[in-house]
Chains A and B, each alone.
Chain A
Amino acid sequence: SQQGEEDPQALSIQEGENATMNCSYKTSINNLQWYRQNSGRGLVHLILIRSNEREKHSGRLRVTLDTSKKSSSLLITASRAADTASYFCATDEYGGSQGNLIFGKGTKLSVKP
C-alpha cells in the first residue's frame, strides 16, 4: 500500500529558481528518505531525516519533517538543468520490517535552461 504521496505530481521551473516538493504519509515512521531518479536510471539516495529531526541540509537540498502533520518537504535551491529528474519520498514505518521502505509515486521536476 502507498505510504507517501508527493505533491505536485509535476513541476516545471526556470534554472536558478527554487523547487519545493511535498510528501505526506499516513503512519508513524522511523525515518523518511528522498531519492532522485533520472530518466531510464535507478534511484539515487539524496537525504535521510529521522523522526526526531525537523530539518536537514545537504548542499543545495533542504528537507523538513513535521511528524505532527505527517509531512515532509524537499527544497532544491538555485536549481540547474541537471536537477531535472523525478523525486521520490520513502518512509520507513515505525514497527515495520527493517529497511523496508515504502515509496510514493514521485514528483517529476523539469528545470528549463
Chain B
Amino acid sequence: QQPVQSPQAVILREGEDAVINCSSSKALYSVHWYRQKHGEAPVFLMILLKGGEQKGHEKISASFNEKKQQSSLYLTASQLSYSGTYFCGTQWGDNTDKLIFGTGTRLQVFP
C-alpha cells in the first residue's frame, strides 16, 4: 500500500520545470512532500490536507486531487539546489495516522 511516485527519475537543466506525481490506492487524509539530499535526512517541504488548498514554498508548489487520490509536486524554474530525491508521504486516517512514504523520485539539475 506504499504510494507510487512517477517518474522514478528526472534530469533537468537549470531553469526548466518538472512535475512529480504521487498516487495512493486508498483515500487520503494528507500528503506530505520531503526532499532528501544524498547522505542527509529528509527535509519537510509542505503538507496538503484533504479539503485544503494548494500549498506553495518558494518556486515549489503542490496540488492534491482527492477524487483521484493523487498529489503532484511542481518545481518551477529549477535551481541546482533542487537536486535530490523527493518523497511523498501519505496519511489515510487523520493527522495521528502513520506517515507512509512513497517510492521516491530522483531529481538531478545540471547547469
B is a partner of A: no
Question: Interface of B with A (CB < 8 Å)?
Answer: none
Q: Measuring CB to CB, which residues of chain A are less than 8 angstroms from any residue of chain B?
A: none
